[in-house]
Amino acid sequence: MIGHTVEGIVGPILPGGEAAVNVNGTTVLVANAVPGDLLAVHISAKRRGVFRGEIVEVIEPSKTRIEPPCPVGNACGGCALQSISGQAQSELKSGWVKAAFEPLVDAGTEWMPVQFHADHCRRRVRWFVGSDRKGLFLGFYAQASHQPVRHRECMVLTPELNALRTLIEKNVSLNGIGSVQAVHLSDGVHVILETECKPTAEMEATNIESMPLQWWWRDSNGITRPMQKPVENFHDLLPAGDCDVALTVGPDGFVQGQMEGNRELIAQIQQWAGKVRRIADLFCGIGNLSLPLAAATGAEVIGAELNAASVRAATANAKAIGITSTFAVANLFEVFDLEPYIGADLLILDPPRRGAKRICSQMSRLLPDKIIMISCDAAAGSRDGALLKEHGYRLKALRALDLFPGAGHVEAMSLWQRS
């Protein structure tokens, strides 16, 4: 089939954003497709035993198909769901989470679907350097390609990041630069030029939309160095009960991709947690989830993370806001010392996409009163949840949270309590 153009009817959109197209009994996964579409599809590859294709023509559109609001929405690979409405995206993503966790839900489980917010934008971005007859530019890869797509403005980014891209294209030589990353924080923007050699241009502390910029360059070994001194420290303002706390975020620190969504996530954790005295935070990052809760409750935090830079940042953030804490470097996917984390009032788990299988399988030793788990892959979260259920925990609440409008990703927040 590879290399051929075929016709097929679109079935369901699957987690990740690709839709299953039925072609004479064979499934082909296609982005930007809508259930009920009749499509002409070019079969381009077969990966992991499944055919992949691109839309050649929408022969007969579904009644629910809309014109993508982004002018390059059908070409850009950044957003696979722009051909359905924002409300339809929320319902779809809610369905993914609910279906994954269905075997673990009981009559007492509180269910909270995605709440659609049209004005929430992403504050983290990675642009790739492309070239066309107009010259070098910053863009996102086209679907199933390493060729960037030129665009005037990205509708899912903050206005500050769109202004930054324009500033870079006008004022920075992109020769030799592979990509540019940026993270928009509460009081400034980190800008990281990814290139083999240090860029020759000296960056000034330019502002965009009244936001200061700190310029960095990152080499092929992943080492990030400042391009200007003194270095500006930027912060995330996060809810801590009735007030906010400021956590310092460096250029290598992980933050959730959406500022408003991150605050929603943290506020939900605090509501579910209630009064706690001792918090275990595994996959702690810079303390994004546990430190605001500790600031609101006066709790102690014991955390662990593989990334040493994140552990240093979490330790410094805890000290800056007056939290009693201990953060350690540990590979949480391998054997590590469980002793410091046993018997916490609350265990927070925020693992990467592969989940927290090893930790969940040892929950009868850790024995926290409550567990709050954030799963960026609902299937992995459900698998981990099944282990928690085996160890005597029940699913009290489940929430779907969309931090990537337009893309095929959704967060599953789950609250577990010992039976």
Query: What per-residue confidence (pLDDT) applies to 201?
Result: 59
Q: Does domain 87-118+235-418 have CATH number 3.40.50.150?
A: yes
Question: How far apart are alpha carbons 117 and 262 in whole angstroms?
Answer: 13
- Is the CB of residue 265 less than 8 Å from the CB of residue 401? yes
Q: Give the integer Cα–Cα distance in Å for 278 and 265.
A: 20
Specify the pLDDT at position 202.
56
Three-state secondary-structure class, residue 353: coil
Active-site hit among 79, 121, 154, 376 = 376
What's the pLDDT tens digit per position in 247-285?
A: 999 999 999 999 999 999 999 999 999 999 999 999 999
User: Could you tell me the sign of the dihedral formed by the alpha carbons of 356, 358, 363, 368, in that order?
Assistant: negative
Q: DSSP 3-state assignment of 26? A: strand
Cα(50)–Cα(306) distance, integer angstroms:
33
pLDDT in tens, 50-78: 999 999 999 999 999 999 888 888 788 78
Give the CATH fold of the 124-184+189-226 domain: OB fold (Dihydrolipoamide Acetyltransferase, E2P) (2.40.50)
Residues of the chain with pLDDT under 70: 201-206
Could you state, in order of their start, the residue ranges of all structural domains in the chain?
5-65, 87-118+235-418, 124-184+189-226
Q: Which segments are annotated as binding site? A: 256, 283, 305, 350
Binding-site positions for S-adenosyl-L-methionine: 256, 283, 305, 350
- Answer whether 5-65 and 124-184+189-226 agree in fold: yes
pLDDT (0 to 100) of residue 278: 98
Amino acid at 397: A
pLDDT value at residue 317? 98
Whether 376 is catalytic is yes
The domain 5-65 is classified under which CATH number: 2.40.50.140, 1.10.3720.10, 3.60.15.10, 3.20.20.60? 2.40.50.140
